Structure 1
Amino acid sequence: MTKDAHTATEYALSKVPQITLGFWVIKIAATTLGETGGDWVTMSLNLGYLIGSAIFTLFFIVLVSGQIKADQFRPFLYWATIVATTTLGTTMADFADRSLGVGYPGGVAIILVLLVASLAIWYRTEGDVSVQSITTPKAEWFYWITILLSQTLGTALGDWLAGDDRGGLGLGYEYGALIFGAGLVVVAVLYFRTAISRTALFWAAFILTRPLGATLGDFLDKPVAQGGLHVSRLYASLILLAFIVVSVALIPQRAAQKTEPV
């Protein structure tokens, strides 16, 4: 690799955080905020899923563009972009399985197809879908679009397991959170005990943390009669936002390295 190419690689990778326990703690909090924040805009403010998705799409485009233009890894910018994908993912999933009338199973199927297509096109174009492959603006766009779709799929999965309408399995938010939490434990065991692709395990964990956050978010703001704590969506979102800001400020983070086995 030439010196210029090596510099370009380090430049791109410096904007992606190292995958650590702290990363997953903040990620789960961000996904929970995405659920409460997305529901606050679409339901509490009564703007609807289509308008809510349009609003969050604007934030997503602006923040991803800023992330791509950044000259180095900037934690607050990165996590603001992650939050944008979680809120947009919430409204997109709700629009798919509620406004389109396909129910939770139909919404999961549609979003799953889009996610697989995104990964396939990314791989066909760049030859790699790992974090280490993000060395160009094009790869970064693929990365963020795939993250957005994984967040959307996670939301749809969480609603499917917890909900008792629209074809939902009716397991409730507490059991839903336990199931997805158990799934993350399995992924962690596979990571430390097997040689399964780290890239595949990363995306599996990234998808599973979203429904875990979605079920936790629903548990916070849904009525007691529906198995929730009935906390105001606005207050829940503000508490989660404060937690994320403090976590990003206090949890040590550094840019991922090319040799990092993600």
Structure 2
Amino acid sequence: MTTERLLDDPSFAPVRTLANKVPEATVCFWIIKVLTTGMGETASDLLARVLGPVPAVGLGGLALVASLAVQFAVRRYIAWVYWTAVVMVSVFGTMAADVLHVGLGVPYAVSAPFFLVALTAVFALWYAVERTLSVHGIRTRRREAFYWAAVLATFALGTAAGDLTATTGFGYLGSVALFAAAICVPAIAHRLGVLGAVLAFWTAYVITRPLGASLADWMALGHARGGLGLGLGPVTLAWTVAIAGFVGRPGVSRRDAADAATV
């Protein structure tokens, strides 16, 4: 049996101690995921502008810890708890990438590979311990810890990658087109049977970050930077309302919760 098939093999799942705490990767899941990435990008920039970089990072870190504490405390998937944690990971992941670049002067061409190595290390340790990277078996605290470590690394990597393309010739709108095309690759490869479900999921998960962030930046930033000039505040508010609308849909929340409990 190949490593890829091992990753998808449900027989590696441990004895259940919790209901699966990750929602099904439906169309709504991917829409909300992209929205959280964009909202996290503009919210991070807005907080840094209003509060200053250091207070913004401190506040973002505290909010991240609080949201993850609530997520770990519940014993099943709860839509608003899960997506609040994702939003805060998005905000703090953006800050982590920006601190390296703006605060420490690390080029995106260096930070992007660094975060890729960090993500690879998380996946390697996760697989070494659990023998699977599937999100269909997040039923133990240890697996949940690995999952959120991977999520945080994907957001930092995606932020650095998106900023790298946006500042090296593609621009924000060009980056949107680039990553919109890129996210189709794992979907098509999986449908053709070339790429396993686990690898396809995580590849798409990484790409959603620069896709959503580039789109939000293009909407928010001024014409001089190639954007629409709508402003960080209005874009952050609009995307937050959109997230709340999708997460709060009774049908979506109930279906995801039911699926998560029975996977």
Report deviation, 1:135.
2.1
Asked whether the equivalents of residues 162 and 215 of structure 1 are also in contact (C-alpha less than 8 Å), the reply is yes
User: 2:85 is matched with which residue?
Assistant: 81
Contact kept? 1:31, 1:86, Cα under 8 Å? yes
Superposition pairs for residues 7-156 of structure 1, below 5 Å? 7-8=16-17, 11-13=18-20, 15-42=21-48, 44-48=49-53, 50-156=54-160
- How many residue pairs are counted as aligned between the two chains? 246
Hey, what does 2:224 align to over in structure 1?
A: 225
- 2:155 and 2:129 map into 1 onto residues whose CA distance is 22
Instruction: State the secondary structure of the residue aligned to 2:252.
Output: coil
CA–CA distance in 1 between the matches of 2:233 and 2:239?
A: 10
Worse-matched range after superposition: 192-201 or 207-216 = 192-201
Partner of 2:248: 249
Q: Which runs of 5+ in 2 are unaligned?
A: 1-13
> 1: distance between equivalents of 2:134 and 2:166?
31
CA RMSD after TM alignment? 1.8
Post-superposition shift, 1:76? 0.7
Aligned equivalent of 1:190: 189
Residue pair 1:132, 1:258 contacting (<8 A) in 2 also = no
- Structure 1 CA distance for aligned equivalents of residues 55 and 121 of structure 2: 26
- Offset from partner CA, 1:19-49 (integer Å, 9 cap, x none): 101100111011000011011011x21511x
Q: How many Å apart are 1:232 and its aligned residue? A: 2.1
The alpha-carbon distance between structure 1 residues 259 and 201, as it changes in their structure 2 partners (threshold 3 A), is farther
Letter aligned with residue 162 of structure 1: A
Contact preservation (8 Å) 1:112, 1:153 = yes
Partner SS for 2:71: helix
Regions of 4+ moved over 2 Å = 50-54, 255-260
Instruction: Check conservation: 2:186, 2:203, Cα contact below 8 A.
Output: yes
> Aligned in 2, Cα 1:128/1:51: closer, same or farther, shift over 3 Å?
farther
Could you state the TM-score of these two structures normalised by the residue count of structure 2?
A: 0.88
Report the AA paired with residue 43 of structure 2.
G
Question: Can you give the 5+ residue segments of structure 1 that lack an aligned partner in the other structure?
Answer: 164-168
Q: In 1, distance between residues paired with 2:166 and 2:239?
A: 21
Asked whether 1:204 is paired with 2:203, we answer yes
Aligned residues: percent identity?
Answer: 32
- Note the alpha carbon deviations across 1:48-84, whole angstroms, 9 max, x for none: 1x44233212111111121111122110111111101
Q: Residue 248 of structure 2 aligns to a residue in which SS?
A: helix
